[in-house]
Amino acid sequence: MKKAFYIFLILNFFLFNVSKANEPYGLSSINKAELKKQLFLVADWQSKQTAHQKKYGALNWHYATFYIGLMELYKSTGEQKYFEQLYELGKKHNWTTENRVFDADYLAIGQVYLDLFKEKQEPEMIQRLQWVIDAHLERMPKPDVRFVDNQYRREWWTWCDALFMAPPTFAKMYALTGQEKYLDYAMDNWIITTNYLLDKDDKLFFRDDRYFKHQTPNNKNLYWSRGNGWVLAGLANMMDIIPKTHPKRPFFEEQFKAMVAKIAEVQQVDGLWRPSLLDPKTLPQPEASGSSFFCYAFLWGVNNGLLDSAEYLPKALKAWNGLKALVNEEGRLGYVQPPGKEPLPYTEDAWEEYGSGAFLIAGSELLKAIEKNEGPKKGKLLYENPLSDAANIKNWPMEGPGKTEFMDNWMHMYSPEEEGHHVLWCTEDFPGSFIAEWEVQNMETDAGLVIMFFSAKGAKGEDIFDKSLKKRDGIFKGYTKSDINNYHISYYANGRDNRERVVAHLRKNAGFNLVQNGEDGIPAHSEVIHKIVLIKNNNKISMTIDGREVVNWTDDGKEYGAVLQEGKMGFRQMQWTHFRYRNFKVYTLE
């Protein structure tokens, strides 16, 4: 009977793929409205299934993974009911974790608390969590990541699943507090576990050391699908936070790319993965939780520029097409292997909270990919200035000791004798949504810093040149911590006191609030012409340099006050900077 069942599964998925083989795997083939509808269906169905809470506990990893998925769904869709659902969960449980404070499985819920705190800012939401995390840092013994013969195996990251549960919680605490000790702990212990559980040749993780010599029925190393899914998703979540300039970041990027390449090799014809990665024939049915995490990792890598879109986006979409076929009309995601530690049999009817959570994480990342691909399009040309001669900027105010000169149809801007910082304002008022573009070239690569201010208005809505506002002279605090509001992006950064910082920063003012560490901006020593495109689509802000995205951020209108809308744009340079500019244009959004 069991043999006949497996033969049926193989035939079923083979026929499914034959029918789908000729379908295009491009983002344009995804209907965004239908995608959201299915994600909401899965989220709502799973939210009603509470039978497992008595068995597993409402704050254990089973449910925490689902809650992480709900939070990602809220972030990608803005559907407020999911935020409220999670907020009420935290209140109900007094923002606690389970009592086994050193067990990674009980730290995963902290990721949700930290995300909720970013919006609500209620101290009690993270007080206990921070106490728990601090307890880890206060321990004196060296980490012991053995699983066998280790009575403290649940107190260290001895099993690969732990890398999804705990490290991102520490990283998020670092992102919230700025205290590097939390990120250091997460990275250092990740590396210790990696050095123990990762097979250097296969680029895959053993679940724990009990499986180092465990072979599958077909004499392959046993690598559990969901276990490796936990690791790959945890890697993506860590790299969302690890600064791109951190000396240990290359380790994580290299591990991610190597692991993704191996996972891609064992993707099956239906786009999904089997419980045993290197021996798919032993259990031929798809495994939805591991497959969801792999799909998420592929999409995250593409969205964040770590993976080649042409190679990995089709694989991700093929996986998504396979996953969505496992959701029934009620919203139940099937073929989820029950809790375990290795590949074991299960059926189409098997579902689990963490499976739905992984599905929501992948689907939310797909929404990001679609929106990134859609991109706003140029509408009506609002303003055009070639910046080719002095008459073009006749009425533009210069604040600070800056000077403009015009040569070869370019506007040069610098401070004579490097006297001081300066800002040159365009006098036009631009709407809350626009596409602006201009060209730049660095004329002095020794040092410099270049910024664009936009959506600039007085704190009470005044025009920034209103005489009631404080006089500005190019000194930064007059623009970031005074009586005007604006956003600003530093897209070239090679300061004399911070050489080759390079990373593009987006800040929201007043307050000098760093809201995003972006990608690398203009290279420190580049002497070529660069095309800059700044897009503000209401609360969504992005910037590209030569078509390469360096900033992409959505202002929630809560954490740092209301979304800034119409206002002026200004070009800022620090005193040792000499750039030239041309072809400044601003469009409406289509």
Catalytic residues: 161
Geometric angle at alpha carbon 509, from 507 and 512, rounded to 5°: 60
Query: d(Cα 397, Cα 568) in Å, to the nearest integer?
Result: 12
- Which is nearest to 532 in space by CA: 403, 442, 412, 420? 442
Interaxial angle between packed helices 353-374 and 309-324, expressed in degrees from 0 to 180 and rounded to the nearest 10? 130
Contact 430, 586 (CB under 8 A): yes
- Which is nearest to 281 in space by CA: 9, 1, 15, 16? 9
Q: Is 139 exposed, middle or buried (0-12, 13-18, 19+ CB in 10 A)?
A: exposed
Query: d(Cα 234, Cα 205) in Å, to the nearest integer?
Result: 13
Q: Is 329 exposed, middle or buried (0-12, 13-18, 19+ CB in 10 A)?
A: exposed
Structure token pair of residue 37: 């509808």
Query: d(Cα 448, Cα 497) in Å, to the nearest integer?
Result: 10
Element (H, E) at 109: helix 109-120
Q: What are phi and psi of 93, to 5 degrees?
A: -105, 15
Amino acid letter, 346: Y
Q: Is 436 exposed, middle or buried (0-12, 13-18, 19+ CB in 10 A)?
A: buried
Amino acid letter, 124: E
Task: Say whether 540 sits in a helix, a strand or coil.
Answer: strand
Task: Say whether 538 sits in a helix, a strand or coil.
Answer: coil
DSSP 106: G
Tell the residue number behind the tokens 């939070």, with chain if given.
71
For the chain, the residue count is: 590
Structure token pair of residue 449: 């810093």
Query: d(Cα 261, Cα 251) in Å, to the nearest integer?
Result: 16
CB contact set of 3 (below 8 Å; sequence gap of 6+)? none
Task: Say whether 487 sits in a helix, a strand or coil.
Answer: strand
Q: Is 25 exposed, middle or buried (0-12, 13-18, 19+ CB in 10 A)?
A: middle
DSSP 348: T
Contact 108, 131 (CB under 8 A): no
Task: Say whether 146 sits in a helix, a strand or coil.
Answer: coil
Amino acid letter, 143: P
Task: Say whether 299 sits in a helix, a strand or coil.
Answer: helix
